[in-house]
Chains A and B, each alone.
Chain A
């Protein structure tokens, strides 16, 4: 993936791809590509940042090598959600893995994360999630948004019904 060198991503930038059911995220980090890679592959480091802030994340498996698999659960007040997948490619500059929410086991997203060396100990992370269909992708965009979004749903309902 090429990036405009003038752009910086001090905060995460996101695009919902209009032509394929993918979500793209870009973010710059104060860390070397090796460190960012380790933060994605060493389970002791992964567990320190992954998952939603308000949920408890437990990693059951994080075998970050070609053909390895991973699984984690996040929970809050008795609600437990599980996610799993396989690592397809684990390379210093690129990780490709599948991603499934066990609540919808037939939906499999392909996630590609690349680490672009910006020099001076900085790294630009590009994350792409390619879903099976626009329906799945859009469900992902909405996922975990139960709270506060009902108003939005009602608004769209009204809009679509009226249109």
Chain B
């Protein structure tokens, strides 16, 4: 499972591939359509699409001639879920920190020695 998700992140590490994905959110497109705005060969775009395909991010229809590229939004949904869960756990921790900070406010004037500090910028 780790490998698959890593492939998704690795596939999205490239700015051209991120741009391709962003454009596919508007709808399916052919390799020709996708290559048009770039100063690169169809082959180069096909190569990027193969990486996206390998990560499960896009699929190519079997519709022989045009073979439009389709974005598999579900993969993003799942990643988003994982990241959102992680975020929620961080938020839970930070809400406890909110309370702790509120209690520090009230004993602001205690004489507890301050933690070691270096040079403040």
Contact = CB atoms under 8 A, between A and B. Distances in A.
A156 interface: yes
Contact of A93 (B75, B96, B99, B121): B121
A53 B101 contact: no
A42 B94 CA distance: 16
A14 B13 contact: no
Instruction: Output the residue of A19, A27, A156 with the most chain B CB within 10 A.
Output: A156
Nearest to B101: A31
Interface in B64-91: 72, 74-75, 78-79, 81-83, 85-87, 89-91
B9 A90 contact: no
Interface string B108-121: 00000011111111
B44 interface: no
B90 A25 contact: yes
* A-side interface size class: 35 or more
A12 B90 contact: yes
Instruction: Output the residue of A36, A134, A137, A157 with the most chain B CB within 10 A.
Output: A134
A103 interface: no
A31 B101 CA distance: 6
Contacts, number: 143
Interface in A1-39: 11-14, 16, 18-19, 21, 23, 25, 27, 29-31, 34-39
Contact of A23 (B4, B75, B81, B86): B86
Nearest to B75: A159
Specify the main secondary structure of chain B where it touches its partner.
helix
B27 to A, nearest CB: 19
B85 A153 contact: no
26 contacts: A12-B87, A12-B94, A18-B13, A34-B114, A35-B105, A36-B97, A38-B114, A39-B97, A49-B93, A49-B96, A49-B97, A49-B99, A52-B92, A52-B93, A53-B93, A64-B116, A66-B118, A90-B115, A90-B118, A92-B120, A93-B120, A138-B5, A145-B86, A152-B78, A152-B82, A153-B1
Interface of B: 1-6, 9-10, 12-13, 18, 53, 56, 59, 72, 74-75, 78-79, 81-83, 85-87, 89-94, 96-102, 104-105, 114-121
Interface of A: 11-14, 16, 18-19, 21, 23, 25, 27, 29-31, 34-39, 41-42, 45, 48-53, 64-66, 90-93, 125, 127, 133-135, 137-142, 144-145, 149, 152-153, 155-157, 159-160, 163
